[in-house]
Structure formats: structure tokens, C-alpha cells
Amino acid sequence: MVKLTLNDRHIEAREGELLIDAMERAGVRVPTLCHMKDLFPSGACRMCVVEIDGRRGLVPSCACPVEEGMDVKTHSSRVVRARKTIIELLLANHPDDCLYCVRNGNCQLQDLAEELGVRERRFTGGRSHHDLDVSNPAIERDPDKCILCGKCVRICEEVQGVAAIDFVGRGSRAMVGTAFDQGLNLSSCVNCGQCIMVCPTGALRERSSLKDVMEAISDPDTFVVVQHAPSISVTLGEEFGLKPGTDVVGLMTTAMRRLGFDRVFDTAFSADLTIMEEASELVHRLSTGGKLPMMTSCSPGWVKFVEQFYPDMLENISTCKSPQQMLGAVIKSYFADREGLDPKKIFSVSAMPCTAKKFEATRPEMARHGLPDVDAVLTTRELARLIRMRGLDFNDLEPSNADTPFGERTSAGKIFGATGGVMEAAIRTAYHLITGEELQDLDVKAVRGMNGVKEAAVAVGDLEVGVAVANGVGNARKLLDEIREGRDDLHFIEVMTCPGGCIAGGGQPIGTDLDKVRERMNALYKIDSEDSIRVSHENPAIKRLYEEFLGEPLGHKSHELLHTHYTKRETVM
């Protein structure tokens, strides 16, 4: 233990700990625009500076290890003046368009200007200008709003292992950009949106589809359907002041109807459908000597990651489309037939925790006869915006259920929202397919939780199935490298692009942190533990879909509608 003095109070800190962490535990918060827990400190923004007795200059507490006897002042007038000056300098090179900004009211730069009492423009001068990058269907970049904190660069490289962006240029001309300053669409970006989640300003944001969706809803000739992803019912409530992990599926369904959607479907239904196809594919590969380990394909950032960085492993990826795309495909075929609707008149929307889903929906292979399976994708944030825009008093709505024929789900489909969920759901059904019996204990605890890579050996009859779950594509990289080098004890691998899975996706509410992610995860597993049907193959609506339309898993219709293929991509085009 190290003893130090913090604002005239004696506190204890752990040996080697960073000052900012010791201060936080002692209940003293200093502002920061660049600090990221668990990553190597960068000391870029200088907002966390403190005065340490005996040191000449102010010291950034995020990059300063504690020392015995330190005497630290966190809010002396010198320190506060320095912080205010930094904000004033940042604002001197920032557009004055807060009222028009997507992060208005939710911006760390704005908050700090308020907190530090910035009331006038002290510095003026030439502002740097760079073009808006709207090349990408998922993520927009506005370098004019960038304060060069570097968090997007670090999460992209150090956490996700993608490194699509980096600092380009030097000094006053420095900016965050892609290789050769090309559009983000030509870079190695996997569209995960984790950069948006860490951006303190509006420099990174989703490419909004709100306008398209509102236009479709107001067109009387268009039949507008919406599907909602398993994870967003446990995150949307946070946008309306509810505790993290509150399940608002009923309120959300009612809200969607009030917004004017003609049908509300649950993507957890098609998650069950994915499990039917994917578990069958796994059993098929196991029994016919197919390419192993099989890897999941529901996370579109991960799929693009493999296409770019591990094209030699594309055959390992399951041919199953993701739940979003499967539901999109059966909406414009089975559902259209059943309701006597022209598929061309259907506008299919999905509400997702994810920015990469926007990219996925635009992939040319995700269409049939020139009609895209899914027409527009909204993030959780956009859905919340739409609800607020329509003046709905969200918390006072009367809960309701999703519509037939795609409204019934099992809790196996629901846990898709957390890392390990797809694996657990697939194991439950694969066990049934192989042994003809149900798994004794449906909880596969070894694949749950927040560890970057989780592994288990699951006994299925007399077969031992090696499974691994990676969350965060940076973690998947380690696993793939092991397999490239000859590791062969794994049969099935689940990868979620974002650390934590969809509950921590790049389309979720801004301000997501590890505590909130844990609450959301607990909420999903609580739903699972209380549900009456916990295996996808017992979903009555799924059985009906196979009886009336699809035939059998991996059958002819399935191949036409629910399966696809992927191709190698360059990282720089």
C-alpha cells in the first residue's frame, strides 16, 4: 500500500496503480476526454491534470503512477484554469453547431464546457477543415468535430485488432483518417461502431436511416414491418431513464405499433431459426467430415473481418445468414405469400444494437430478385430518437406482444444478445439432433461471462465437442492464429464482433460501460432461466414454418433463402 495526500485527505493506493484510478476509488473524479480503462495510458487530452507538490508542471493523473507521500491537489485554481483553457482551445477549433449535432445533450466536450463555466469565446482563429466521410453505409466520420483524443484509434487497433484508422499528418494538420485518406468504405473497417461508443463528440456516428423509415411509414401504399434484435429490449429502457438491464420488450413492441409499423416481429424468432439451420449444419459437418471448426456467421463485423484478414478460413464460416437476414428473407417470401402482399410493397426495417447490420443489409448477396432482404436498419439509439420524436411517453405505454407468424421465440433465441448465447443455444439443439434427447442441464455456464475467450469440451452422446467463444474480434484473432498454426481440438466457434456481444454493440446507447453490460447480460440470462421453452427446436412457430414452408433444415428452400457465401476482400482498395 502507498499512502498519499489527496486534497488534504489521507488516502491509500495500490502499489504501481495509476493516480486517476486511486483518485476514483477515493471518490474524487477529474474530467478526462481520452482515458480508457485497461488500455495503455495515452495522456493526450491533459484534462485530468493535477497539481503535485514539488513537481514543476501539472501532471496528467491518467499516466502517473502513485508514489509514497505524494501531495495531490485535483481542483486548485491553477488546475481548473488549465482545464478550462484546454476546453477553450478545443472549442476554438470546433464547429459551433451543437444544436444541429447528433450528440447534442450527450457530448463530453459540451458537458465539460458547461462544467467549467466556459461562457465566452476567448480564442479565435483559422479552423481546420476536412471533408465529411459519408462513403460507408454504417458509420459517418466528421473530422471537423474530432478533438484528436485518439480513443477511436486505440479501440480499433488495440481492442478490435482492425486498425482501420490512425492519426494522419502532423501538427495542426493532424487528423484521424484511413490509409491513403480513402473513404471508410474502402478501408479495413468492419463497421462494429465501437469507435462511436468511445467518441466524446459527434465526430463518429451511425449513418442514419430514420428518414427512409419515416418516409416508408407515412406512405399508405407501403407495408412496413419491423423486427427487433434480442439485445435491444434490455438496453432501450436506458434511453428512457430506466435501470440498465430492464426488459422493455412489451413497451417497445407497443411503441413500434404506435410509430406506425404494420407488423412487429421478434428477431429472437429468427435466432431460433438460425439455430435450427446452424446446429443442423454443424451436425452435418461433424458427420460427413466437413470443414471444421465451424464458425458462427451472425455477427457481420466478424464476417467482414474474416473476409479481409483470414480469407483462407472462409470455408469455416457457417453458410447461415444472420437472424436479421433470415427474418428479412422469410418476411418477403413466406409472410408475403401468406398475407397476399407484393414483396415489392414491403419495407422491412430492423432495429439492431449494431452499426455493422446496416452494412450487412446492403451486401449484394443479401437480396433476392433484386429485392434486399432488409431495407433499413435502425440502431437502438435511432429507435429511441424516433420514439421521442413521435412524442410517445414510453414508460406509460401498455405492453403488448409481437405479431404472428414471427413473434414467438424461445429463450435460446433471446440469449443471442450476449457473448456465448449463440453457442449455448446451438449446443442445446445440436445435442438434441445428435442424441435425440434433451440436454440434462440446459445451462452451459462455461461459455457465459465477459472473458475474451471461453472454451469448453461438451459431451454429446459419445462425442466430445470442443467449443470456443470469442468476443471482440481482437480476441478472435488469437484463436484463429492458433488454428492456422495447427490447433485441431475445436469443432465449433462463436465469435461476436463486439466485446460482450450485442448487448455492448456499436448501436447501443452512448455511455455504455462494463457495469451496464453486466446488468444487461444478467437480464438476458434471467429471462432464459424463467422461460418455459428454452430450446429453439421446440419453438412452435418454427415448427410451423418448417411444416408449411421450408420443409426441413438445410433443405432446398433453406438453401435458397437462408444460406449464403462470403468472399475475400482487400483491406485497402
Partner 1 sequence: MMTANEIDDILRQYPEAGRDALIPILQDVQDIQGYLSKDAVVRIGECLKLPPSKIYGVATFYNQFRFQPQGRFHIQVCRGTACHVKGSAAVLDRLQRELGVASGETTRDGIFSLEVVACIGACGLAPVISVNGEFHAKLTPDSVVDVLNEYRQKAESSAHA
Query: Catalytic residue positions?
Result: 278, 281, 298, 318, 357, 360, 365, 502
How many angstroms separate the CA atoms of 436 and 428, rounded? 11
Give, for 463, the enclosing helix (H) or strand (E).
strand 463-471
Query: Under DSSP, is residue 350 helix (H, G, I), strand (E, B) or coil?
Result: strand
Sign of CA dihedral 205, 211, 217, 221: negative
Residue 129 binds to partner 1 (criterion: CB under 8 A): no
CB closer to partner 1 out of 39 and 80: 39
Residue 147 binds to partner 1 (criterion: CB under 8 A): no
Neighbour-count burial of 346, counting CB atoms closer than 10 A to its CB (0-12 exposed, 13-18 middle, 19+ buried): buried
Binding residue for partner 1, selected from 2, 82, 98, 163, defined by CB under 8 A: 163
CB closer to partner 1 out of 160 and 539: 160
For every residue of 488-555, DSSP letters joined together read ---SEEEEESSTT-GGG-TTSPTT--HHHHHHHHHHHHHHHHH-S--SGGG-HHHHHHIIIII-STTS
Binding mask of the shown chain, residues 511 to 550, with x at each position contacting partner 1 by CB under 8 A:
----------------------------------------
Q: Least distance (Å) from partner 1 to the CB of residue 171?
A: 9
Q: Least distance (Å) from partner 1 to the CB of residue 501?
A: 25
How many angstroms separate the CA atoms of 433 and 180, rounded? 50
Q: Least distance (Å) from partner 1 to the CB of residue 195?
A: 13
The strand pairing partners of 346, in sequence order, are 223
Phi, psi of 203 (to 5 degrees): -70, -25
CB closer to partner 1 out of 162 and 460: 162
Q: Tell me the three cell numbers of residue 151.
A: 480513443
DSSP at 433:
H
Interface stretch with partner 1, choices 56-64, 162-170, 243-251, 481-489 (CB under 8 A): 162-170
CB closer to partner 1 out of 514 and 572: 572
Binding residue for partner 1, selected from 167, 481, 556, 560, defined by CB under 8 A: 167
Contact 442, 413 (CB under 8 A): no
Please work out the total of residues on this chain that contact partner 1, with binding judged by CB under 8 A: 20
Binding residue for partner 1, selected from 32, 187, 235, 297, defined by CB under 8 A: 187
Q: Least distance (Å) from partner 1 to the CB of residue 485?
A: 15
Binding residue for partner 1, selected from 56, 170, 369, 565, defined by CB under 8 A: 170
Residue 262 binds to partner 1 (criterion: CB under 8 A): no
CB closer to partner 1 out of 522 and 571: 571
Q: Least distance (Å) from partner 1 to the CB of residue 481?
A: 11
Contact 12, 6 (CB under 8 A): no
Contact 186, 362 (CB under 8 A): no
Instruction: List residues binding partner 1 (CB under 8 A).
Output: 157, 162-170, 177-181, 187-188, 570-572
